[in-house]
Amino acid sequence: MQKENYNKDNRQWFKDAKFGMMIHFGLYSLLAGEWKGKRTDVIAEWAQSCFQIPIKEYEKLMTAFNPIFFDADEWCDLALSAGMKYIVVTTKHHEGFALFDSKVDDYNVMHTPFKRDIIKELSVACRKKGLKFGIYYSQELDWHEEHGGGYTETFETGQGKPWTNTWDFPNTKKNFEICFRKKIVPQVTELLTGYGDIDLIWFDTPQDITKEQSVELYNLVKKYQPNCLINSRIGNGMGDYGSSGDNDTDAEGNGMLFEVPATLNDTWGYKAYDQNWKNAETIIKIKEELNGRGINYLLNVGPDALGRIPAPSQDILREVGKKQR
């Protein structure tokens, strides 16, 4: 951890926050866990990998992406009603599709029927309502890119599916440096320079990213957003605070800034048939246990294809807020 880059204000807001909302939203929200009559047995945002959907097929989802009921203010109000202090939203997940107006790559929300910059609208709403604004960016794994990083083998943490896109590019010898220069660095720069103050950046899945690449990304963030906190999933021992494994509520922070990312049901992206919801009492119990160990609880919601946070998620979070008042 790069403790020398901390400043008092950075550390204090994060320590005081204790509770945040993570939002997984993307083209996978349209699939809702299903593809050609089959249901995925893994987390819904891994659908492209699970079903090994060719890029040309998966890109067709762009023509249907039109979350007409997305309302940044409503999402923020829900977080506030639960007592949450910050939001972390997926700007680009492993599928490679961006929810912001990227000039680097046309594979983004502005080239869908929706044609609105979701990240811009959320950044404005967070500032208006006093929430800290955080962004998720998959800095290595990108199934839309031939050299999109990640191992070609399967791993338990990858739900037994290929980390990288081997179905479109079976004979490619991966060179992540190509993707890193072509897409990753330029898009992260866009996010750092076009969306006002970013309080936190949440990187993910550092598999074969090099130490030099992690350092470069870290320094890039600090160049444009010196007060932005960076999580440990940037890779190679870098980062300003620790992110545990998914749903690892037994994690120990060991006195450092630390956070546990977790789900309300059993998926991050929207899966229509996953109704295994934790109740408000369970959420409060976990939160209190984590907070008692000095650890933040980052609890996820997965909006559906219309941009609606599922009713059970809303009911649970509002009940959490009521019971804590």
Give the torsion through C-alpha atoms of 5, 11, 14, 15, to 10 deg. 140
What pLDDT does residue 300 have?
Answer: 98
Consecutive H or E run containing 125: helix 118-129
Q: How far apart are the C-alpha atoms of 45 and 53, rounded to whole Å?
A: 13
Averaged over successive runs of 10 residues, the pLDDT of the chain (325 residues) comes to 53 95 98 97 95 97 98 98 98 98 98 98 98 98 93 58 88 94 98 98 94 98 97 97 96 93 98 98 98 97 98 98 94
What pLDDT does residue 3 have?
Answer: 41
Q: How far apart are the C-alpha atoms of 39 and 41, rounded to whole Å?
A: 6
What pLDDT does residue 150 have?
Answer: 75
How many CB atoms neighbour CB 211 within 10 A?
11
Closest CA to 214 of 229, 230, 228: 230
91 with 191: CB under 8 angstroms?
yes
25: three-class secondary structure by DSSP: coil
Domain ranges within the chain, ordered by starting residue: 3-324
269 with 300: CB under 8 angstroms?
no
Q: For residue 47, which amino acid is it?
A: A
Q: How far apart are the C-alpha atoms of 305 and 128, rounded to whole Å?
A: 25
269: three-class secondary structure by DSSP: coil
| 255's tokens | 């006195």
Strand ranges, E, within 75-115? 86-92
CATH number of the structural domain 3-324:
3.20.20.80
Question: Tokens 């906190």 — which residue?
Answer: 229
What pLDDT does residue 2 have?
Answer: 43
What pLDDT does residue 52 have?
Answer: 95
What pLDDT does residue 163 have?
Answer: 86
Pairing of the two strands 132-137 and 86-92 = parallel
What pLDDT does residue 94 have?
Answer: 97
Closest CA to 35 of 210, 161, 220, 188: 161
What pLDDT does residue 45 have?
Answer: 97
What pLDDT does residue 152 have?
Answer: 65
Strand ranges, E, within 123-250? 132-137, 200-203, 229-230, 242-243
Kindly report each contact of residues 165-169 with a partner whose C-beta sits within 8 Å and lies 24 or more positions away, as own/partner.
Answer: 165/49, 165/55, 167/52, 167/53, 167/54, 168/54, 168/55
Cα angle value 187/190/195 (rounded, 5°): 135
| 69's tokens | 């009921």
Phi, psi of 15 (to 5 degrees): -65, -40
What pLDDT does residue 274 have?
Answer: 98
| C-alpha 311, offset from chain centre | 21
Task: Give, to the nearest 10 degrees, the angle between helix 72-81 and helix 118-129.
Answer: 40
145 with 179: CB under 8 angstroms?
yes
